[in-house]
Amino acid sequence: MNSKDYQAWVTEPASGGGSRKFPGLRRTRSLTMNASRAPGLALGLAGEAGEVADVIKKGIRDHNTLGFDFNQAALLLELGDVLWYLVGLADSFGWTLEDIMQANFDKIESRRAQKAGA
C-alpha cells in the first residue's frame, strides 16, 4: 500500500462497515473529513502519540534500561494509529501525506542551510 491508497482508505466514507476501494480492509466507523473534524482528530493524534510514549515507558520500566528492550510489535501498531490520525487531520485541510513530507523537508533543509551558512 502506498501513501495515496492509505489516505484514500482513511478518508473514504465507510459503506456497510467495509472499504469500497479496499474490500479486504474493514472500517470501524464512518468518517466524513472536513475542517470541523480537526479538533477531534488533533486530540486523537495527541492521544496516540501518548500511546507510543507509553510503549517505550513500559520498556524502560519493565527492563530498567534505555535500550531497545520494548514491545516493538505494540510500537508498530501505535505508530500506525498516529499515522491514521495524522492523515485524517491533514486530509481535513485538503493536504496529502506528500504535502506534509515536502513541507517538513523544506523546513529542515532550510534550517540546515542556515546553520551551514552561519
- The binding site for Mg ion (CB under 5 A) comprises 48, 51, 78, 81
Tell me whether residue 48 or residue 91 sits nearer to Mg ion (CB atom).
48
> Per the structure block, which three cell numbers stand in for 106?
523544506
Distance of alpha carbon 101 from alpha carbon 68, whole angstroms: 27
Instruction: Report the residue closest to Mg ion, judged by CB.
Output: 81
CB of 52 to Mg ion, least distance (A): 8
CB of 51 to Mg ion, least distance (A): 4
Tell me whether residue 12 or residue 51 sits nearer to Mg ion (CB atom).
51
Do the beta carbons of residue 19 and residue 13 sit within 8 Å?
no
Distance of alpha carbon 11 from alpha carbon 24, whole angstroms: 16
